[in-house]
Amino acid sequence: MTHRFLLPGLAVLAAALVAAGCAATGPSEPVATTKVTMVKSYRFDPETIEIRAGQTVTWTNEDNFTHTVQVEGQADHKVGRGESVSIVFGKPGTYDYVCTLHSHDMQGEVIVR
């Protein structure tokens, strides 16, 4: 739980990077993929993905910590180190999701066309 004390510092760093004009790629530029990785440390990569209705998204945890995937209005799925979880998206829409253990850092979005 000590990592929680790092959060204010990271937020300041992120704000500084945006202020310095390093936002060239844009924080929410969607990537056409069905694979999301929980990378070191406490991040979904890519954060925003775009898929077609009926496709399955798979999250794989390559971080050193347990994370979860909770799509808004759905059950929370715990994903341990080296594990993965797959969720089918049947209907078009924009689905926000979080890791409920680190919801301030780990947020993502699935855009279903």
Q: What's the min distance (Å) between Cβ of 11 and Cu ion?
A: 16
Residue 106 sits in the site that holds Cu ion (CB under 5 A)? yes
Q: What's the min distance (Å) between Cβ of 31 and Cu ion?
A: 20
- Dihedral sign (CA 17, 18, 23, 27): positive
Residue 43 sits in the site that holds Cu ion (CB under 5 A)? no
Q: What's the min distance (Å) between Cβ of 67 and Cu ion?
A: 3
Residue 101 sits in the site that holds Cu ion (CB under 5 A)? yes
Peptide bond into 41 cis (omega under 30): yes
Residue 99 sits in the site that holds Cu ion (CB under 5 A)? yes
CB 112 within 8 A of CB 95: yes
The span of 19-27, 44-52, 78-86, 94-102 binding Cu ion (CB under 5 A) equals 94-102
Give, in order, the Cα–Cα distances in Å from 83 to each of 36, 60, 69, 77.
Answer: 12, 6, 12, 11
Residue 67 sits in the site that holds Cu ion (CB under 5 A)? yes
| CA–CA separation, 52 and 109 (whole Å) | 14
> By the criterion CB under 5 A, which residues form the site for Cu ion?
67, 99, 101-102, 106
